[in-house]
Amino acid sequence: MKYPLSGLAASTAGLAAALAAAALLAGCGPSHDAPANAGQASAKAQQNGPAAVAVARGKIEVEGGLLDLSPAVAGVVQQLSVKEGQSVQRGQLLLRLADDTGQADLAVAESEAQLAKARQKARAARLPQLKQTLSRWQAAAREGAADAQNVDEAAQALRDAQAEIDVAAAEAQVAQRKLEQLRAQHKRQELRAPEAGTVVRLATHAGSQAVPGTPAVVLLPQRPLQVRAEINESFAAAVREGMRATVTLDADGAAQQQLPSARVLRISPVYGTARLQDDQQRGPVRVIECVLVFEQAPAAAVRVGQNVRVQFHE
């Protein structure tokens, strides 16, 4: 079958026009803009400071971590004295367990201690008079106005009074120690803040059962913030203690906020498995943990638990 030459020429001309249009579009594509973008990126890197020798992901934390607080003994929560978000001072009462029997025993012990002290004081008050009586009988005996029996009786009365005072003092000491013991037991029914901080979470309420070892109150202590970063094993040799670093908040969909500069406080001597990064193809990533401290306190908006990116500089 033969085709007309005019149709073949028309087809060839159409193909050439299409190729020319494609070449024109390619000339306007991203490849022409690449040198300009690279120059802008280089200028921006120079403005931001020295190049990073290593990068890592990290998380904002408080020095020592959050405090999980629980009472020393099991019991029913009778009083909850704080709310979530409340600032507390060291020694402030957080909660108290029900202890009616203990409170009654404590009240009795306080009364017994007061009674023992009063008895000791009353017996000690007799002592000066008995000493004065003995002195008078002794003076009278020296002048011949009294016999030795009167002196002996006065001396015996003084010895008996002193013995009673000693017994009363011992009874008062025993009562005081019993009171202190019951007070210590009563304090075990209370949960108090070990240091100043902010109540992050309450895991109990009035009327619920509290169990030792199970957190009832989570406290954010009033301590400096720091960064715990995970250094990939490929960067392990590039990071050392004292090295300065740039820390930025790792927020998706928002502008990265740069935090105050930090420095490396310590580097773990052992490898571990990454918790902030993973490789879907290669599996678990080996990292070394690194703790950084800020050279000045971050803004109040920075919160414990926020993810950050860390760039280490020489």
Residue that terminates a domain, selected from 187, 204, 236: 187
Give me the pLDDT at residue 45, please. 39
Q: Catalogue the E-assigned strands of the chain.
A: 54-62, 67-69, 75-80, 87-88, 93-97, 190-192, 197-202, 209-210, 217-221, 225-232, 244-249, 262-267, 272-273, 286-294, 307-313
pTM of the complete model beyond 0.75: no
The count of domains in the chain is 3
pLDDT at 253: 53
Nearest CA among 249, 244, 259, 262 for reference residue 50: 244
Higher pLDDT, 30 or 105: 105
Residue among 137, 136, 135 nearest 150 (CA): 137
Q: What contacts 24+ positions apart, CB below 8 Å, involve 115-120?
A: 115/175, 116/168, 116/171, 116/172, 116/174, 116/175, 116/176, 117/172, 117/175, 119/168, 119/171, 119/172, 120/165, 120/168, 120/169, 120/171, 120/172
Q: Give the whole-number percent of the chain exceeding pLDDT 70.
A: 81
Residue 280 has a pLDDT of 61
Please say if the pLDDT value at position 281 is more than 80: no
Task: Tell whether the model's pLDDT for residue 26 goes beyond 80.
Answer: no
Last-in-domain residue among 161, 187, 213: 187
Mean pLDDT of the region 294-307: 90
What does the alpha-carbon distance between residue 189 and residue 98 come to, in Å, rounded to a whole number?
7
Assign 49 a pLDDT band (cuts: 50, 70, 90). low
In this predicted model, what pLDDT tens digit does every residue of 54-82 receive, in sequence order? Answer: 999 999 999 999 999 999 999 999 999 99
- Domain carrying residue 212: 76-96+189-222
Q: What average pLDDT does the segment 241-255 reach?
A: 82
CA distance 239 to 292: 12
Residue 28 is assigned to a structural domain of this protein? no
On the question of pLDDT at 23 being above 70, the answer is no
Please determine, for residue 269, whether its predicted confidence score (pLDDT) is greater than 70: yes
Q: Is residue 5 part of a domain?
A: no
Core vs surface per residue 37-71: b (16+ CB within 10 A) or e: eeeeeeeeeeeeeeebebbbbbbbbbeeebbebbb
Domain CATH number, residue 244: 2.40.30.170
Report pLDDT for 19. 36
| pLDDT at residue 284, as a whole number | 82
Read off the pLDDT of residues 133-170 as tens digits, 9 standing for 90 and up: 999 999 998 888 888 899 999 999 999 999 999 999 99
* Same domain for 297 and 278: yes
Q: Which residue has the tokens 């020592």?
A: 64
Residue 13 lies in a domain: no
Q: Per the domain annotation, does 71 fall within a domain?
A: no
In whole angstroms, what is the distance from residue 64 CA to residue 88 CA? 18
